[in-house]
């Protein structure tokens, strides 16, 4: 299989499965013990440390390569490694996606942040065998009202999704909450990329869509010990995306602004716990 094909079929790039024959061999989510969730808390906290450092360095004039270096330094400080570097050949520690770039932007010395940009940074750590995964969209200096609104609604949709990550709910309840929040804001939720279970692997079952629509995992009933990455990807003008020739960078099809907010969340007996916090 070509690497491009593998990317289309695997992990977060996997398109929602629709055919019944494919639905029957969906893997069940891997439940995590309290001890494993403690390790995931530590992996998640390191991701949050990276974001805290990025927030400080993001300003006009900084290259996305410098952001990658900042992330690397923090990961190393806490004895963690990037979950992304080398994943299906991905060449950097983080993803840094500017403006119409939705996800998987590759850091580069040639990409310099400018006043008014928005930048989505996706960070994944591996610490003692477990993955933490969180993305955040940042403003570079002063941004337009429209850009700020896109960021506000996307973050709110993440929080609405997280609120549904409770035992007894279905995965679909998360998807619905995200979609409602986004569409109530007059924005568009991307279909082609999704959230996912997370644990020893970055991408585990279940797939966590950001919209309601006939996927195999939507009916999965959440229980304590499930850990998922919830990650609304939202665009101003269309839900459609397009991949650039570098084979990684995904942009909005119409060139409109994109935002991406993601947390790793554990379903516990006392409700959702966000693992990617300080
Ligand atoms: N947070 C992203 C995800 O959920 C990270 C993937 S980027 C890659 O899939 F480079 F590692 F593919
Ligand atoms: Co993710």
Which DSSP letter does residue 54 get? Answer: H
Q: In this structure, what token pair is assigned to residue 189?
A: 């939720």
**Coil, helix or strand for 276?**
coil
Q: Which of 72, 168, 152 is nearest to 118 (CA)?
A: 152
Whole-number pLDDT of residue 104: 98
Q: How distant, in Å, are the alpha carbons of 20, 91, 102, 215 from that of 249?
A: 31, 12, 8, 25
CA of 44 from ligand 1 middle (Å) equals 15
**How far apart are alpha carbons 195 and 179 in whole angstroms?**
13
How confident is the model over 201-251, as pLDDT tens digits? Answer: 999 999 999 999 967 799 999 999 999 999 999 999 999 999 999 999 999
Q: Which CATH number fits domain 29-274: 3.40.190.10, 3.90.230.10, 3.30.9.10, 3.50.50.60?
A: 3.90.230.10
Per residue in 106-146, pLDDT (tens digit) is 999 999 999 999 999 999 999 999 999 999 999 999 999 99
Task: Name the residue ranges covered by the structural domains of the chain.
Answer: 29-274
| Predicted TM-score (pTM) of this structure | 0.92
**Atom number in ligand 1 closest to CA 7:** 12
* CA 132 / ligand 2 centre spacing (Å): 9
**What confidence score (pLDDT) does residue 10 get?**
40
Q: What is the pLDDT of residue 57?
A: 98
Going from the Cα of 228 to the center of ligand 2, the distance in angstroms, rounded, reads 9
Decide whether any atom of ligand 1 lies within 6 Å of the 66 Cβ: no
Q: In the predicted model, is pLDDT for residue 16 greater than 80?
A: no
Can you tell me which atom of ligand 1 is nearest the CA of 196?
4
Residue 18 has a pLDDT of 31
Q: For residue 123, give the ligand nearest its CA.
A: 1
Mean of per-residue pLDDT scores for the chain: 92
Q: In the chain, where does DSSP find H-type helix?
A: 3-9, 20-24, 34-57, 64-77, 145-163, 171-184
Q: Is the CB of 130 under 6 A from ligand 1?
A: no
228 Ramachandran zone, left/alpha/beta (phi>0; psi -120 to 50): beta
Write down the pLDDT at residue 21. Answer: 35
Q: Look at residue 214 in the predicted model and tell me its pLDDT.
A: 64
* pLDDT on residue 5: 31
Range 95-100 average pLDDT: 98
Query: How remote is the CA of residue 127 from the centroid of ligand 1, in Å?
Result: 16
Q: Which long-range contacts (CB under 8 A, 24 or more apart) does 82-85 make?
A: 82/124, 82/125, 82/126, 83/124, 83/125, 83/126, 83/131, 83/132, 83/133, 83/202, 84/122, 84/124, 84/202
Residue with tokens 């940074």: 121
State the pLDDT at residue 8. Answer: 36
Q: Which of 77-86, 117-126, 205-214, 266-275 has the lowest mean pLDDT?
A: 205-214
């Amino acid at each position: 299989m070509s690497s491009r094909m593998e990317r289309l079929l695997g992990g977060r790039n996997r398109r929602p499965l629709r055919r019944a024959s494919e639905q029957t061999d969906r893997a069940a989510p891997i439940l995590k013990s309290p001890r494993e969730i403690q390790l995931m808390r530590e992996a998640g906290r390191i991701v949050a440390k990276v974001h805290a450092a990025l927030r400080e360095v993001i300003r006009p004039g900084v290259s996305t390569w410098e952001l990658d270096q900042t992330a690397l330094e923090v990961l190393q400080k806490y004895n963690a490694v990037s979950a992304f570097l080398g994943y299906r050949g991905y060449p950097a520690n983080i993803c840094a996606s500017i403006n119409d770039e939705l996800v998987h932007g590759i850091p580069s010395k040639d990409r310099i942040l400018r006043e008014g940009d928005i930048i989505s940074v996706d960070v994944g750590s591996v610490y003692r065998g477990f993955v933490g995964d969180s993305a955040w969209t940042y403003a570079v200096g002063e941004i337009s009202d429209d850009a700020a609104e896109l960021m506000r609604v996307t973050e709110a949709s993440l929080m609405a999704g997280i609120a549904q990550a409770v035992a007894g709910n279905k995965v679909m309840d998360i998807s619905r909450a995200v979609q409602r929040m986004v569409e109530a804001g007059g924005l568009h939720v991307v279909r082609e990329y999704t959230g996912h279970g997370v644990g020893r692997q970055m991408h585990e079952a279940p797939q966590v869509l950001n919209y309601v629509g006939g996927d195999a995992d939507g009916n999965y009933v959440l229980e304590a010990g499930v850990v998922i990455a919830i990650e609304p990807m939202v665009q101003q003008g269309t839900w459609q995306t397009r991949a650039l020739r570098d084979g990684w960078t995904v942009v909005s099809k119409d060139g409109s602004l994109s935002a991406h907010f993601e947390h790793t969340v554990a379903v516990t007996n006392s409700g959702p716990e966000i693992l990617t916090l300080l």
